Structure 1
């Protein structure tokens, strides 16, 4: 196996992340092979294993990167000067849109990719889920401190956010033509309800 400089290692790693993401979006985790990935990157299979022990590990690394990008965008919202209702509605809309506009994150939950990751990388996925929940609770606590959300169990509010995310899986049943209006109305009702409750408490 060839020896790589640190710069070459970083270039190969980035290539694996970028090309791997493209292939996973196209075929899904189950149907993608390591051969597909190394061919796209122009490297040997032995070189792949210097960076990742399996295609699931590569997929997991891409998933973590996508979540970090999403977290950065959401954190930017807290710097904007918006009314409580506007901030909360923007938070829900942005959370939804970041998944809706990201084909990789859509792929994770629409196919059996998430289940496969849980089987192949149980410890990493448990930690990932825990970190996701903690990030959600942190965001909710920040909104509570600013009086945007009522003082309630943050896990319940995180659950509501996750429920909104899951609605997109039923876009076809709801009707793709009315779906954007349905989501907008749900977010409007939730933002209105939460901000009124926060004022009362």
Structure 2
């Protein structure tokens, strides 16, 4: 017989699963972490985890989505400024990439190469959700910048590609440019110029 949860209980159980999943995936990676490990850490039954997340990969997907909420923080920050200078855009980008780059979960996924594998395993529906999330962010960013008087030099596909290049560079900083912060500065300058058109 399936256990009934109140809305409050559901929110708390989901929070515990996500918290313990994030901790374990960041420490051990996705392959080495099992649903049993997560259930044990969250002090719930394995079946309860499956009530909330049909697979380990879907849990990881939701955790990544939560980490990527930092994109919304960038847009909100720029939207709230009465005037936006290119320096404001650059600083917001720096904070975004620093926030994402400090995520133990994202760092583990990228270091281990598991992020690509998770993408392949996820259902077409979840892959579509990820793409929609990304498109929504870029649309909101472009709209805020348009309102503030900026026009990107290139279309969304180019800007998205540049974002990914900077993101990969940040996540692979130790291998690519370890003690050469000027590289990161140049990447941010380039991205800022392309986004603002200035």
TM range (shorter): 0.7 to 0.9
**2:65 paired with 1:64:** yes
Which of 159, 163, 174 is the equivalent residue of 1:172?
174
Q: Note the residue ranges of structure 2 that are not aligned, 5 or more in a row.
A: none
CA-based RMSD: 2.4
Query: Does the residue aligned with 1:23 lie in a helix, a strand or coil?
Result: helix
Rounded Cα–Cα distance in structure 1 between residues aligned with 2:18 and 2:57: 12
Rounded Cα–Cα distance in structure 1 between residues aligned with 2:139 and 2:187: 21
Rounded Cα–Cα distance in structure 2 between residues aligned with 1:102 and 1:193: 26
Residue 151 of structure 1, CA deviation: 5.4
Instruction: Give the match for residue 14 of structure 1.
Output: 15
Rounded Cα–Cα distance in structure 2 between residues aligned with 1:147 and 1:71: 20
Rounded Cα–Cα distance in structure 1 between residues aligned with 2:194 and 2:46: 54
TM-score (ref. length: structure 2):
0.84
Q: How does 1:1-201 map to 2 (within 5 A)?
A: 3-6=3-6, 7-68=8-69, 70-78=70-78, 79-81=80-82, 83-123=84-124, 124-150=126-152, 152-178=154-180, 180-191=181-192, 197-198=197-198
TM-score (ref. length: structure 1):
0.83
Rounded Cα–Cα distance in structure 2 between residues aligned with 1:20 and 1:43: 13
Moved over 4 A (4+): 192-195
Query: 1:34, 1:55 within 8 Å by CA — same for their partners in 2?
Result: yes
- Matched residues, number: 195
Query: 2:152, 2:195 within 8 Å by CA — same for their partners in 1?
Result: yes
